[in-house]
A = this chain, B = another copy of it.
Amino acid sequence: MSSQLGQLFRISTWGESHGGGVGVVIDGCPPLIDLAEADIQRDLDRRRPGQSEITTPRHEADAARILSGVFEGKTLGTPIAISVMNQDARPEAYREMETAFRPSHADYTTQAKFGIRNWQGGGRASARETIGRVAAGAVAKRVLASLAPGLEIVAYVKAIHTLEAAVDPATVTAEQVESNIVRCPDAEVAERMIEHIKRLRTEGDSAGGVIECVVRGVPPGLGEPVFDKLEADLAKAMLSLPATKGFEIGSGFAGARLTGAQHNDPFVIREGRVRTATNHSGGVQGGMSNGEDIFFRVAFKPTPTITRPQATVTVTGEETQLAARGRHDPCVVPRAVPIVEAMAALVLCDHALRQRGQCGRI
Protein backbone atom coordinates (compact mmCIF):
# COMPACT_ATOMS: atom_id res chain seq x y z
CA MET A 1 0.00 0.00 0.00
CA SER A 2 1.07 3.53 -0.71
CA SER A 3 1.54 4.63 2.86
CA GLN A 4 2.56 1.43 4.58
CA LEU A 5 5.87 -0.30 5.09
CA GLY A 6 6.81 -3.60 6.70
CA GLN A 7 5.32 -7.07 7.02
CA LEU A 8 5.25 -7.79 10.75
CA PHE A 9 6.39 -4.45 12.15
CA ARG A 10 4.15 -2.40 9.86
CA ILE A 11 3.92 1.36 9.87
CA SER A 12 1.25 3.56 8.30
CA THR A 13 2.10 7.23 8.03
CA TRP A 14 -0.46 9.97 7.44
CA GLY A 15 -0.55 13.73 7.12
CA GLU A 16 0.29 16.59 4.82
CA SER A 17 2.75 19.39 5.40
CA HIS A 18 -0.01 21.93 5.82
CA GLY A 19 -2.93 19.92 7.14
CA GLY A 20 -3.63 19.53 10.85
CA GLY A 21 -0.63 17.37 11.56
CA VAL A 22 1.27 14.23 10.73
CA GLY A 23 1.60 10.88 12.39
CA VAL A 24 2.12 7.18 12.25
CA VAL A 25 0.41 4.00 13.41
CA ILE A 26 2.68 1.05 14.20
CA ASP A 27 1.01 -2.33 13.97
CA GLY A 28 2.66 -5.51 15.21
CA CYS A 29 5.05 -4.11 17.81
CA PRO A 30 6.03 -6.77 20.36
CA PRO A 31 4.61 -6.31 23.86
CA LEU A 32 6.55 -5.49 27.02
CA ILE A 33 9.11 -3.18 25.35
CA ASP A 34 10.04 -0.15 27.48
CA LEU A 35 8.93 2.95 25.60
CA ALA A 36 8.60 6.60 26.54
CA GLU A 37 7.79 9.70 24.52
CA ALA A 38 11.32 10.89 25.26
CA ASP A 39 12.73 7.95 23.26
CA ILE A 40 10.87 9.26 20.25
CA GLN A 41 11.49 12.94 20.87
CA ARG A 42 15.25 12.43 20.90
CA ASP A 43 15.29 11.38 17.24
CA LEU A 44 12.60 13.86 16.21
CA ASP A 45 14.75 16.66 17.60
CA ARG A 46 17.58 15.55 15.33
CA ARG A 47 15.21 15.73 12.38
CA ARG A 48 13.24 18.89 13.15
CA PRO A 49 13.52 22.12 11.17
CA GLY A 50 15.13 25.17 12.69
CA GLN A 51 17.72 23.13 14.59
CA SER A 52 20.73 25.01 13.20
CA GLU A 53 21.82 27.83 10.95
CA ILE A 54 22.03 25.56 7.88
CA THR A 55 18.45 24.30 8.03
CA THR A 56 15.12 25.87 7.19
CA PRO A 57 14.01 28.55 9.65
CA ARG A 58 10.51 27.05 9.81
CA HIS A 59 9.92 26.63 13.52
CA GLU A 60 8.28 23.40 14.55
CA ALA A 61 8.71 21.88 18.00
CA ASP A 62 7.58 18.56 16.52
CA ALA A 63 6.40 17.36 19.90
CA ALA A 64 5.37 13.71 19.66
CA ARG A 65 2.39 12.36 21.54
CA ILE A 66 1.78 8.64 21.99
CA LEU A 67 -1.99 8.12 21.71
CA SER A 68 -2.27 4.37 22.18
CA GLY A 69 -0.45 1.07 22.55
CA VAL A 70 1.62 1.94 25.62
CA PHE A 71 0.59 1.38 29.24
CA GLU A 72 2.65 2.25 32.29
CA GLY A 73 5.77 2.69 30.18
CA LYS A 74 5.54 -0.58 28.27
CA THR A 75 4.20 -1.53 24.85
CA LEU A 76 0.95 -3.49 24.90
CA GLY A 77 1.44 -5.33 21.61
CA THR A 78 -1.43 -3.25 20.18
CA PRO A 79 -1.16 -0.42 17.61
CA ILE A 80 0.99 2.49 18.71
CA ALA A 81 -0.40 5.74 17.35
CA ILE A 82 1.91 8.74 17.45
CA SER A 83 0.95 12.21 16.27
CA VAL A 84 2.67 15.56 15.83
CA MET A 85 0.56 18.64 15.24
CA ASN A 86 1.72 21.25 12.71
CA GLN A 87 2.32 24.67 14.28
CA ASP A 88 4.22 27.00 11.97
CA ALA A 89 2.47 26.29 8.67
CA ARG A 90 2.22 29.35 6.42
CA PRO A 91 0.09 28.29 3.49
CA GLU A 92 0.05 31.82 2.10
CA ALA A 93 3.73 31.39 1.14
CA TYR A 94 2.60 28.71 -1.29
CA ARG A 95 -0.07 30.73 -3.05
CA GLU A 96 1.85 30.72 -6.36
CA MET A 97 1.93 26.93 -6.26
CA GLU A 98 -1.81 26.86 -6.67
CA THR A 99 -1.23 27.65 -10.31
CA ALA A 100 2.45 26.88 -11.07
CA PHE A 101 4.30 23.57 -10.75
CA ARG A 102 7.64 23.83 -8.90
CA PRO A 103 10.41 22.22 -11.02
CA SER A 104 11.65 18.83 -9.82
CA HIS A 105 9.02 18.72 -7.08
CA ALA A 106 6.00 16.40 -6.91
CA ASP A 107 3.47 19.10 -7.81
CA TYR A 108 2.94 18.08 -11.42
CA THR A 109 3.04 14.32 -10.88
CA THR A 110 0.62 14.56 -7.95
CA GLN A 111 -1.79 16.50 -10.13
CA ALA A 112 -1.31 14.01 -12.98
CA LYS A 113 -1.95 11.03 -10.70
CA PHE A 114 -4.83 12.18 -8.54
CA GLY A 115 -6.34 15.10 -10.47
CA ILE A 116 -6.15 17.12 -7.24
CA ARG A 117 -3.47 18.24 -4.78
CA ASN A 118 -3.16 20.24 -1.59
CA TRP A 119 -1.04 23.05 -3.00
CA GLN A 120 -0.52 24.61 0.45
CA GLY A 121 2.89 23.00 0.85
CA GLY A 122 4.34 19.78 -0.42
CA GLY A 123 1.45 17.56 0.66
CA ARG A 124 2.56 13.97 1.16
CA ALA A 125 5.83 14.69 -0.66
CA SER A 126 6.79 17.11 2.10
CA ALA A 127 9.70 16.26 4.36
CA ARG A 128 7.19 16.49 7.20
CA GLU A 129 5.89 13.07 6.21
CA THR A 130 9.20 11.66 7.46
CA ILE A 131 8.28 12.62 11.04
CA GLY A 132 6.16 9.48 11.23
CA ARG A 133 9.08 7.42 9.94
CA VAL A 134 11.49 8.82 12.51
CA ALA A 135 9.01 8.29 15.33
CA ALA A 136 8.39 4.70 14.24
CA GLY A 137 12.12 4.20 13.77
CA ALA A 138 12.70 5.21 17.38
CA VAL A 139 10.26 2.49 18.45
CA ALA A 140 11.99 0.00 16.13
CA LYS A 141 15.32 0.81 17.78
CA ARG A 142 13.83 -0.01 21.20
CA VAL A 143 12.56 -3.33 19.86
CA LEU A 144 15.93 -4.13 18.28
CA ALA A 145 17.66 -3.33 21.57
CA SER A 146 15.54 -6.11 23.05
CA LEU A 147 15.80 -8.59 20.16
CA ALA A 148 19.42 -8.08 19.15
CA PRO A 149 21.34 -6.45 21.99
CA GLY A 150 24.52 -4.89 20.67
CA LEU A 151 23.04 -3.96 17.31
CA GLU A 152 23.99 -0.36 16.55
CA ILE A 153 23.00 1.90 13.65
CA VAL A 154 25.14 4.93 12.80
CA ALA A 155 24.53 7.15 9.76
CA TYR A 156 26.51 10.22 8.80
CA VAL A 157 27.13 12.68 6.01
CA LYS A 158 29.72 11.21 3.66
CA ALA A 159 29.61 13.94 1.03
CA ILE A 160 28.06 17.34 0.36
CA HIS A 161 28.18 18.51 -3.23
CA THR A 162 31.80 17.77 -4.24
CA LEU A 163 33.20 17.67 -0.70
CA GLU A 164 33.82 14.14 0.52
CA ALA A 165 34.68 13.06 4.05
CA ALA A 166 37.04 10.30 5.16
CA VAL A 167 35.22 8.10 7.67
CA ASP A 168 35.91 4.58 8.90
CA PRO A 169 32.56 2.81 9.15
CA ALA A 170 33.99 0.23 11.50
CA THR A 171 34.72 2.71 14.26
CA VAL A 172 32.62 5.84 13.72
CA THR A 173 30.45 6.80 16.71
CA ALA A 174 27.14 8.59 17.11
CA GLU A 175 28.91 11.18 19.23
CA GLN A 176 31.27 12.02 16.39
CA VAL A 177 28.32 12.40 14.05
CA GLU A 178 26.45 14.72 16.38
CA SER A 179 29.54 16.81 17.15
CA ASN A 180 28.74 19.27 14.35
CA ILE A 181 25.62 20.63 12.67
CA VAL A 182 26.32 19.03 9.30
CA ARG A 183 26.58 15.56 10.93
CA CYS A 184 29.87 14.67 9.28
CA PRO A 185 32.32 12.86 11.58
CA ASP A 186 35.33 14.19 9.62
CA ALA A 187 35.70 17.45 11.56
CA GLU A 188 37.89 19.22 9.07
CA VAL A 189 35.72 18.49 6.06
CA ALA A 190 32.60 19.21 8.14
CA GLU A 191 33.61 22.80 8.58
CA ARG A 192 34.10 23.25 4.86
CA MET A 193 30.74 21.64 4.21
CA ILE A 194 29.02 24.10 6.53
CA GLU A 195 30.64 27.07 4.86
CA HIS A 196 29.82 25.67 1.45
CA ILE A 197 26.13 25.21 2.28
CA LYS A 198 25.93 28.78 3.59
CA ARG A 199 27.52 30.13 0.45
CA LEU A 200 25.17 28.21 -1.84
CA ARG A 201 22.20 29.55 0.11
CA THR A 202 23.46 33.08 -0.35
CA GLU A 203 23.69 32.39 -4.07
CA GLY A 204 20.07 31.23 -4.13
CA ASP A 205 21.23 27.71 -4.85
CA SER A 206 21.29 24.37 -3.01
CA ALA A 207 23.35 21.21 -2.62
CA GLY A 208 22.91 17.44 -2.55
CA GLY A 209 25.12 14.84 -0.97
CA VAL A 210 25.64 11.28 0.18
CA ILE A 211 24.79 9.63 3.48
CA GLU A 212 26.61 6.50 4.56
CA CYS A 213 25.13 4.20 7.18
CA VAL A 214 26.71 1.35 9.09
CA VAL A 215 24.94 -1.28 11.15
CA ARG A 216 27.15 -3.20 13.55
CA GLY A 217 26.29 -6.26 15.58
CA VAL A 218 23.69 -7.72 13.20
CA PRO A 219 22.95 -11.40 13.89
CA PRO A 220 23.54 -13.65 10.86
CA GLY A 221 20.49 -14.82 8.93
CA LEU A 222 18.29 -11.70 8.74
CA GLY A 223 16.74 -11.11 5.32
CA GLU A 224 15.04 -13.40 2.87
CA PRO A 225 16.60 -15.34 0.00
CA VAL A 226 14.58 -14.00 -2.91
CA PHE A 227 12.54 -10.80 -3.23
CA ASP A 228 12.83 -9.59 0.34
CA LYS A 229 16.59 -9.64 0.42
CA LEU A 230 17.90 -7.39 3.16
CA GLU A 231 19.60 -5.11 0.63
CA ALA A 232 16.43 -5.01 -1.48
CA ASP A 233 14.32 -3.88 1.45
CA LEU A 234 16.99 -1.38 2.51
CA ALA A 235 17.15 -0.04 -1.05
CA LYS A 236 13.39 0.36 -1.16
CA ALA A 237 13.32 2.04 2.24
CA MET A 238 16.02 4.51 1.24
CA LEU A 239 14.67 5.24 -2.25
CA SER A 240 11.28 5.90 -0.63
CA LEU A 241 12.81 8.95 1.05
CA PRO A 242 12.25 12.30 -0.65
CA ALA A 243 15.13 13.51 -2.86
CA THR A 244 17.02 10.20 -3.08
CA LYS A 245 18.51 9.10 -6.39
CA GLY A 246 20.69 6.09 -5.58
CA PHE A 247 21.59 3.29 -3.18
CA GLU A 248 24.59 1.03 -3.01
CA ILE A 249 25.64 -1.59 -0.49
CA GLY A 250 29.15 -2.81 0.31
CA SER A 251 31.37 -2.35 -2.73
CA GLY A 252 28.44 -0.88 -4.66
CA PHE A 253 29.02 0.56 -8.11
CA ALA A 254 32.79 0.44 -7.54
CA GLY A 255 32.45 -3.30 -6.98
CA ALA A 256 31.30 -3.70 -10.57
CA ARG A 257 34.80 -2.64 -11.58
CA LEU A 258 36.56 -5.44 -9.66
CA THR A 259 37.17 -9.05 -10.64
CA GLY A 260 35.84 -11.99 -8.69
CA ALA A 261 39.25 -12.77 -7.25
CA GLN A 262 39.48 -9.20 -5.96
CA HIS A 263 35.89 -8.93 -4.79
CA ASN A 264 35.21 -12.22 -3.03
CA ASP A 265 35.29 -12.17 0.76
CA PRO A 266 37.21 -15.23 1.98
CA PHE A 267 35.72 -16.97 5.00
CA VAL A 268 37.90 -17.33 8.06
CA ILE A 269 37.39 -18.50 11.62
CA ARG A 270 37.86 -15.71 14.15
CA GLU A 271 37.17 -16.16 17.84
CA GLY A 272 35.43 -19.39 17.03
CA ARG A 273 32.95 -17.76 14.66
CA VAL A 274 32.64 -17.78 10.89
CA ARG A 275 33.79 -14.37 9.67
CA THR A 276 34.99 -12.86 6.40
CA ALA A 277 38.50 -11.53 5.90
CA THR A 278 37.23 -8.59 3.82
CA ASN A 279 33.75 -7.08 3.54
CA HIS A 280 33.02 -6.13 -0.06
CA SER A 281 29.67 -7.79 0.48
CA GLY A 282 28.68 -5.10 2.96
CA GLY A 283 27.45 -7.59 5.51
CA VAL A 284 24.87 -9.25 3.27
CA GLN A 285 25.26 -12.34 1.09
CA GLY A 286 22.43 -13.81 -0.94
CA GLY A 287 20.09 -11.31 0.70
CA MET A 288 20.83 -12.44 4.25
CA SER A 289 23.09 -10.86 6.86
CA ASN A 290 26.37 -12.69 7.47
CA GLY A 291 27.22 -11.07 10.80
CA GLU A 292 29.71 -8.55 9.40
CA ASP A 293 29.03 -4.81 9.41
CA ILE A 294 26.27 -3.79 7.03
CA PHE A 295 27.12 -0.54 5.30
CA PHE A 296 25.45 1.30 2.46
CA ARG A 297 25.32 4.73 0.86
CA VAL A 298 22.35 6.84 -0.26
CA ALA A 299 22.55 9.64 -2.84
CA PHE A 300 20.45 12.77 -2.28
CA LYS A 301 19.84 15.25 -5.05
CA PRO A 302 20.18 19.00 -4.34
CA THR A 303 17.08 20.60 -2.79
CA PRO A 304 14.85 21.58 -5.71
CA THR A 305 13.54 24.63 -3.84
CA ILE A 306 15.87 27.51 -4.72
CA THR A 307 15.34 31.26 -4.63
CA ARG A 308 16.66 31.80 -8.15
CA PRO A 309 13.91 32.23 -10.73
CA GLN A 310 13.23 29.09 -12.73
CA ALA A 311 11.25 28.33 -15.86
CA THR A 312 8.09 26.31 -15.34
CA VAL A 313 4.46 25.97 -16.47
CA THR A 314 1.08 26.61 -14.94
CA VAL A 315 -1.76 24.20 -14.28
CA THR A 316 -3.48 25.60 -17.36
CA GLY A 317 -0.43 25.06 -19.57
CA GLU A 318 1.21 28.45 -19.79
CA GLU A 319 4.94 28.96 -19.44
CA THR A 320 5.98 31.14 -16.49
CA GLN A 321 8.75 31.76 -13.96
CA LEU A 322 8.88 30.80 -10.31
CA ALA A 323 11.25 31.75 -7.47
CA ALA A 324 10.84 30.04 -4.10
CA ARG A 325 9.61 32.15 -1.22
CA GLY A 326 8.69 29.41 1.26
CA ARG A 327 11.24 28.56 3.97
CA HIS A 328 13.41 25.63 2.98
CA ASP A 329 16.71 23.81 3.58
CA PRO A 330 19.62 24.70 1.28
CA CYS A 331 20.74 21.09 1.83
CA VAL A 332 18.52 18.38 3.30
CA VAL A 333 21.30 15.89 3.87
CA PRO A 334 22.25 16.73 7.50
CA ARG A 335 18.62 16.46 8.63
CA ALA A 336 18.24 13.24 6.64
CA VAL A 337 20.82 11.42 8.79
CA PRO A 338 18.35 10.42 11.55
CA ILE A 339 15.80 9.56 8.85
CA VAL A 340 18.19 7.11 7.19
CA GLU A 341 18.87 5.55 10.58
CA ALA A 342 15.14 5.27 11.21
CA MET A 343 14.52 3.52 7.89
CA ALA A 344 17.36 1.09 8.58
CA ALA A 345 15.90 0.35 12.01
CA LEU A 346 12.44 -0.26 10.53
CA VAL A 347 13.77 -2.71 7.96
CA LEU A 348 15.91 -4.60 10.44
CA CYS A 349 13.19 -4.77 13.07
CA ASP A 350 10.72 -6.15 10.57
CA HIS A 351 13.19 -8.78 9.38
CA ALA A 352 14.13 -9.75 12.93
CA LEU A 353 10.46 -10.43 13.74
CA ARG A 354 9.99 -12.33 10.47
CA GLN A 355 13.04 -14.43 11.26
CA ARG A 356 11.66 -15.21 14.71
CA GLY A 357 8.27 -16.07 13.23
CA GLN A 358 9.56 -18.47 10.61
CA CYS A 359 12.66 -19.92 12.24
CA GLY A 360 11.92 -19.55 15.95
CA ARG A 361 15.07 -17.62 16.78
CA ILE A 362 16.99 -14.50 15.78
Q: A179 in the interface, Cβ–Cβ < 8 Å? A: no
Q: A16-B71, A262-B302, A263-B301 are in contact. List 13 more A-B contacts (CB 8 A).
A: A1-B7, A3-B226, A13-B79, A14-B78, A15-B68, A16-B69, A19-B71, A71-B118, A104-B264, A109-B221, A109-B288, A113-B222, A231-B239
Interface range for A? 35 or more
Assembled-state Cα–Cα distance A69/B43 (Å)? 26
Could you say which of A2, A31, A313 has the most chain B C-beta atoms within 10 Å of its C-beta?
A2
Q: B residues within 8 A CB of A232? A: 235-237, 239-240
Q: A358 in the interface, Cβ–Cβ < 8 Å? A: yes
Assembled-state Cα–Cα distance A245/B355 (Å)? 23
For residue A350, give the distance in angstroms from its CB to the closest CB of chain B. 10
Assembled-state Cα–Cα distance A112/B305 (Å)? 47
Per-position contact with B for A341-357: 1 when CB-CB < 8 Å, else 0?
00000000000011111
A81-B23, A267-B312, A313-B267 are known contacts. Are A287 and B4 too (CB-CB below 8 A)?
Answer: no
A8-B357, A116-B71 are known contacts. Are A253 and B245 too (CB-CB below 8 A)?
Answer: yes
Assembled-state Cα–Cα distance A301/B317 (Å)? 46
Q: B residues within 8 A CB of A268? A: 311, 313, 319
Could you say which of A210, A288, A317, A354 has the most chain B C-beta atoms within 10 Å of its C-beta?
A288
The reply to whether B3 and A227 form a contact with Cβ atoms under 8 Å apart is yes
Assembled-state Cα–Cα distance A285/B228 (Å)? 25
Q: B residues within 8 A CB of A250? A: 245
User: How many copies of the chain does the oligomer comprise?
Assistant: 4
Per-position contact with B for A313-354: 1 when CB-CB < 8 Å, else 0?
100011100000000000000000000000000000000011
Q: B residues within 8 A CB of A129? A: 226
Q: Who on chain B is nearest to A234 by CB?
A: B239
Q: A101 in the interface, Cβ–Cβ < 8 Å? A: yes
Q: A residues 54-75 with Cβ under 8 Å of B? A: 65, 67-69, 71, 74
Q: B residues within 8 A CB of A227? A: 1-5, 236-237, 240
Q: A138 in the interface, Cβ–Cβ < 8 Å? A: no
Q: A150 in the interface, Cβ–Cβ < 8 Å? A: no
Q: A residues 256-290 with Cβ under 8 Å of B? A: 256-269, 272, 274, 276-277, 280-282, 284-290
Assembled-state Cα–Cα distance A300/B67 (Å)? 30
Assembled-state Cα–Cα distance A340/B265 (Å)? 26
For residue A349, give the distance in angstroms from its CB to the closest CB of chain B. 11
Q: B residues within 8 A CB of A276? A: 103
Could you say which of A10, A106, A239 has the most chain B C-beta atoms within 10 Å of its C-beta?
A239
**Selected contact of A248 from candidates B223, B245, B353, CB within 8 Å:** B245
Assembled-state Cα–Cα distance A223/B110 (Å)? 10
The reply to whether B4 and A10 form a contact with Cβ atoms under 8 Å apart is yes
